[in-house]
Structure 1
Amino acid sequence: MPPKVSTNFSDLLAFSGPGPERINGRLAMIGFVSALGVELANGQDLLTQISNGGLTLFVGTSVVLTLASLVPLFKGVRAESKSSGLMTSDAELWNGRFAMLGLIALGFTEFVQDLLAFSGPGPERINGRLAMIGFVSALGVELANGQDLFTQISNGGLTLFVGTSVVLTLASLVPLFKGVRAESKSNGLMTSDAELWNGRLAMLGLVALGFTEFVKGTPLV
């Protein structure tokens, strides 16, 4: 005799219960396919769809699908008992997990793509800030202990650069996500244009430093 399954509401919707992940997965599958379909049909991105009535449709679909998923659970019927063929209960769970990840990735990518577009407000400014820090740091280390740029990189400099890149990129993106641009905080000598030009010069300087030391085979300073 198969073990009796609980039909208690709190058990069904517990974090490890049979309801939440399966229901969320079904919603994600519908949402992901719908979002891609609308994008292909009229070019609206996910955030535009949400603001143009998509949120209301999502809430309505969530209510209907949640109720439809709970009815068999209250009757003691589990998805596992109806599992057969290719679309097993495990396959449904994994498809739902992938759909949840896909939906998050779709929204995040579309949210940041304008900021990180080639002509957007992010890439050149972030690269310029990294170049300024890198150029000054490289020259400072050369003056301090005579190590050229490539020796610095091989002696742990690459790890420091990657860590600095991550921190500086996140720090630069936070105000952009809030709609704050560098131009709006521009005043005095260090205007946003001055920062851009300093960054460009630092990028050129860093490349020139590395190239010169590579050709000479010795530190520049």
Structure 2
Amino acid sequence: MAFNGSLPEINNGRLAMLGFLAALGCEVFTGKPVLAQLAGNGSTILTWVLLVTAGTAVPILRGIKNEEAFGPLTPERELFNGRAAMIGFASLLIAEAFRGSALF
């Protein structure tokens, strides 16, 4: 498997959407910044990464095309939301690095 095609971007986008939402929720409830959350939950994060990656890779590697909309959700919107989440997660890390504490 090469690092081209749709798999890397779809997978990273899905992981970024999950990661941003999880980081935001944990910050609101615990007050811990993202890096502190990552340091204390390595096995849980690895499990989610493996599950999302497997769930993304298996249909793509089997040649199943994701061209149908699911209500208002389309593959194009998923790509857009994934890209926004990647930028959002990176921005959250940068903002917390400059601030020195949790953003939310």
TM-score normalised by the chain length of structure 2: 0.92
Q: Which residue of 166, 171, 189 maps to 2:50?
A: 166
What pairs with 1:71-86 in structure 2 (closer than 5 Å)? Answer: none
TM-score normalised by the chain length of structure 1: 0.45
Q: Which residue of 49, 53, 63 maps to 1:179?
A: 63
What pairs with 1:97-108 in structure 2 (closer than 5 Å)? Answer: none
Displacement after TM superposition at 1:155 (Å) = 1.3
Partner of 2:7: 122
Q: Which amino acid aligns with 1:171?
A: G
- Say how many residue pairs are matched: 104
| Identity fraction in percent | 35
Q: 2-side partners of 1:187 and 1:170: how far apart?
A: 21
Q: Which amino acid aligns with 1:189?
A: P
**Which blocks of at least 5 consecutive residues in structure 1 are unaligned?**
1-111
Q: 2-side partners of 1:130 and 1:167: how far apart?
A: 10
Runs of 4 or more consecutive aligned structure 1 residues displaced over 4 Å after TM superposition: none
Q: Which amino acid aligns with 1:137?
A: A
In terms of Rg, which structure is larger? 1
CA RMSD of aligned residues (A): 1.3
Q: 2-side partners of 1:159 and 1:208: how far apart?
A: 24
Partner of 1:146: 31
Q: 2-side partners of 1:219 and 1:172: how far apart?
A: 31
Higher RCO (Cα < 8 Å, 6 or more apart)? 2
Deviations 1:82-136 (A, max 9, x none): xxxxxxxxxxxxxxxxxxxxxxxxxxxxxx33xxx33x02000000000000000
